Amino acid sequence: MNSLNDIITKAFNLFDEPLSGKYDKDNRVLARWFGNLGYREICRETKCSRVIGSITTETNTREYSLPSDFVAIQLAEYLNNKLLPTSIQCVTTMSGTPKKYFIERKKIGIEPIPDGQYAIDFIYFNQPTSDITLESTPEMIPYEWRHVMAFFICTKVAEIDKGAENPVAERHRALYNQELEVMRNYFMSGQHADQAMEVR
């Protein structure tokens, strides 16, 4: 399953129930919309995609904007020294070399307030910021996990065609949640979560 179109085809193969007429399998426009919804949700929930970012601090400036695709931070460091996470409630008015960081409203804050220019590198989990086409590949999700998108699409088709409370929709939702949990555990626990420098 390389393209979104392939994933949609897989979803319709997984959907083993007769349609009641409220959803048309030929409606790839709606299926594409479902696919993009699932793409974002899966990246956000499983943290399967990581990239490297950096900021350069300025004197007496505490907060800096994060990239638009930011979901959560995994690691922040200055000169290979790991910055410790803290909260905005625990910051002081002191200035000095960066020791800690906090995340607030899509910004990263540095503690103490930087007293000069420091290059801070960080690894963060990201998600798509724009829709992909039917011919595009959801690159942020590794190939072996793209079937989870198919389960998401199945769930949405079932909710429209059968109704959100229908046993068919509930069964497909349970299958999707099960696959999502397996994927989440893979990326967020054990050796895969510990590979801090593995950037996809």
Q: Mind listing the pLDDT tens digit for each residue in 130-146?
A: 999 999 999 999 999 99
| Token reading at 199 | 């950037």
- Tokens 């046993």, residue located: 167
Asked whether the predicted pLDDT for residue 191 surpasses 60, the reply is no
Query: What does the pLDDT average to over 61-87?
Result: 94
| pTM (two decimals) | 0.84
pLDDT value at residue 195 = 45
CB neighbours (10 Å) of residue 137?
16
Query: What does the pLDDT average to over 55-74?
Result: 95
- pLDDT range class, residue 199, cuts 50, 70, 90: very low
| Token reading at 117 | 């220019």
Average pLDDT over the chain, rounded to whole?
A: 90
How wide is the angle at C-alpha 127 spanned by C-alphas 121 and 130, nearest 5°?
120
Domain definitions of the chain by residue range: 4-48+130-194, 50-126
pLDDT value at residue 190 = 57
Cis peptide before 114 (omega within 30 of 0): no
The pLDDT tens digits of the residues spanning 102-117 come to: 999 899 999 999 999 9
